[in-house]
Structure 1
Amino acid sequence: MSGTPALELKAICKSFGQVRALTNVDIAAFPGEAHFIVGDNGAGKSTTLKVLAGIHQPDAGELRINGVETSMRDASQAHRHGIAVVHQDLALVECLDIATNMALGAIPRKRRFILDRRRMEREATEVLSELKIRVGSVRTQIGLLSGGERQIVAIARAVRMNLPIILLDEPTAALGVRETAHVGEILDELRGQGKTVICISHDLEFVFAHADRITVMRLGNTVATCLRGATSRDEIVGMITGTITASTANAGTQ
């Protein structure tokens, strides 16, 4: 990839008390790129995503947005820097309907204290239609949806924000084959729009179908970042498990 990364981590370290979660993490994701992060449980993937999202502040290292070193104190600052996040727990409110959940954080109003319900429902319907998502009425409560439908709504909410960087934590974990394929189509469309998509996934079939580059993490460290076409599943699995060493992996890093 050439040019300036949209989002970059350099030599990131993060500890929680005596537990070192991240030791040395380097990731650079570019506009128009689907960048996947893979690794075993405990590799530090979710902690890395939370650093990118402003939820955790690193103990050392640099976070850069469009080449500018940046410090984010919380998730609201990440949003102001153009970062939307779909967490694994989805952060949806079950007692609220689809339209309201999709508008959380940017609810349209007629006046200061009056909700513009019609506009909110119209905008939610438009986004779901553009993404070819069918979840019934936008007035349906989130609590009545299946796990897969909730996942899709959470992704649609991030898309509605229309921000240049989107972070996804295991977006297909609760999905069937058809829904997983649909998420892949959405991801490809976002990449085609020039957005930067950073995605954590354990599903290597999904990764190799949609990634431009793949970063492998192990025990809180970046092992290597490879072009999808310049690596194989066996090599990625070897890096994840440690049967392929960092020096061997980096010899083929792109």
Structure 2
Amino acid sequence: MTTPHGAILKDTGPEEGRPIVELRGAGKSYGNIRALHGVSLAVHPGQVTCVLGDNGAGKSTLIKIISGLHQHTEGEFLVDGEPVRFTTPREALDRGIATVYQDLATVPLMPVWRNFFLGSELTKGPWPVRRLDIETMKRTADQELRNMGIVLDDLEQPIGTLSGGQRQCVAIARAVHFGARVLILDEPTAALGVKQSGVVLKYIAAARDRGLGVIFITHNPHHAYMVGDHFSVLRLGTLELSAARDQVSLEELTNHMAGGTELAALKHELSQVRGVDVDELPEESDLTAPAPGTTGTTGTTEGKA
């Protein structure tokens, strides 16, 4: 089996219950700065794994390890059950791991179809006078977008004229077309309004329904809970919470995301401010107790992702 980029893959169909991508106690250190430590994560086909955390929690470092930009310095990284150590993002892409970053890697003034095939253009004709196969690229881009439920009247329009949500969806459809089995989405709803965020969440669910394993990186627990099947909360480079959807409520997820200990300390401080009613705020035990059936770890690390 070959990828659209020409790499030859072993025909390793997903075994029942085996994750496509798995981290076991993985970590990353930059000299004496430990950005990530002891993180375990499993990404299964047809599931959305949400990774949440505040700034500096380690989300960016986690993305860079899985996408092949950086190498882990501790633990294991497995793809289809096989230990790997990617040296370039191209190696990760050839194994079916695609990343859609916040900037989307698009050229705003180029047409939609041209951005869809950016860096992987189709050509026709004999060498050395080969030329772009524009009609095939337009037809393929339109079909792939329609398969994801995206209908654009004019593929010639510059992609910069699309809304933020539409550009995110084009990037998702592009990754699916070029053989992604695991789709990493880096804060896809961070700069979007409510309506456009809903559009992106719909296409995340569509990618899951097509059998992809999705890693959804986000600050927003409400967005995560709408589409997520499993939730991992990072805090200071360690895994604070790892729970399936039926093991954690939205309120508990929000409390872990916000940092229960800090909220409890804030409640104590607010109680000393005149005019602030803290009676309705949750108690410290409510904020820090892990949900039943979940795993939670606490720890401190140095540095930021």
TM-score clears 0.5:
yes
Question: Match of 2:145, SS?
Answer: helix
From 37, 40, 46, the equivalent of 1:23 is 37
State the AA in 1 paired with 2:53: G
Contact in 2 for aligned 1:216/1:223 (Cα 8 Å): yes
Partner of 1:207: 224
Partner of 1:129: 146
1:60 Cα offset (Å):
1.7
Whole-angstrom CA distance in 2 between matches of 1:12 and 1:105: 32
Q: Which ranges of structure 1 fall in alignment gaps of 5 or more residues?
A: none
State the AA in 1 paired with 2:50: F
From 169, 177, 181, the equivalent of 2:186 is 169
Question: Match of 1:167, SS?
Answer: strand
Whole-angstrom CA distance in 2 between matches of 1:35 and 1:252: 17
1:177 Cα offset (Å):
2.8
Whole-angstrom CA distance in 2 between matches of 1:199 and 1:47: 14
Question: Match of 1:249, SS?
Answer: coil
From 96, 100, 112, the equivalent of 2:114 is 100
1:203 Cα offset (Å):
2.1
Contact in 2 for aligned 1:102/1:160 (Cα 8 Å): no
Partner of 1:240: 257
Contact in 1 for aligned 2:248/2:291 (Cα 8 Å): no
Whole-angstrom CA distance in 2 between matches of 1:131 and 1:5: 24
From 74, 77, 94, the equivalent of 2:91 is 77
Larger Rg: 2
From 124, 131, 135, the equivalent of 1:110 is 124
Structure-2 change in CA distance of 1:80 and 1:183 (3 Å): same
Structure-2 change in CA distance of 1:119 and 1:71 (3 Å): same
**Mean alpha-carbon deviation: is it higher for 20-29 or for 64-73?**
20-29
Question: Match of 1:79, SS?
Answer: helix
1:18 Cα offset (Å):
4.4
Partner of 1:44: 58
Query: Deviation string for 1:135-194 (max 9, x for gaps)?
Result: 442122233334333223222222222421111111122333333222222222222222
What are the equivalent positions in structure 2 for 1:224-235 lying under 5 Å apart? 224-235=241-252
Question: Match of 1:71, SS?
Answer: coil
Contact in 2 for aligned 1:84/1:166 (Cα 8 Å): yes
Which stretches of structure 1, 4 residues or longer, exceed 6 Å deviation after superposition?
none
Contact in 1 for aligned 2:165/2:197 (Cα 8 Å): no
Structure with the larger strand share: 1
State the AA in 2 paired with 1:118: E
Whole-angstrom CA distance in 1 between matches of 2:167 and 2:210: 24
1:228 Cα offset (Å):
1.4
Q: Which ranges of structure 2 fall in alignment gaps of 5 or more residues?
A: 1-15, 262-284, 296-305
Partner of 2:18: 4
Partner of 2:79: 65
Query: Deviation string for 1:51-91 (max 9, x for gaps)?
Result: 11111111222110111111111110011101111111211
Partner of 2:293: 252
> How does the TM-score come out when normalised to structure 1?
0.90
Structure-2 change in CA distance of 1:147 and 1:32 (3 Å): closer
**Superposition CA RMSD, Å:** 2.3
1:213 Cα offset (Å):
0.7
Whole-angstrom CA distance in 2 between matches of 1:15 and 1:97: 41
Contact in 1 for aligned 2:221/2:254 (Cα 8 Å): no
Contact in 2 for aligned 1:223/1:249 (Cα 8 Å): no
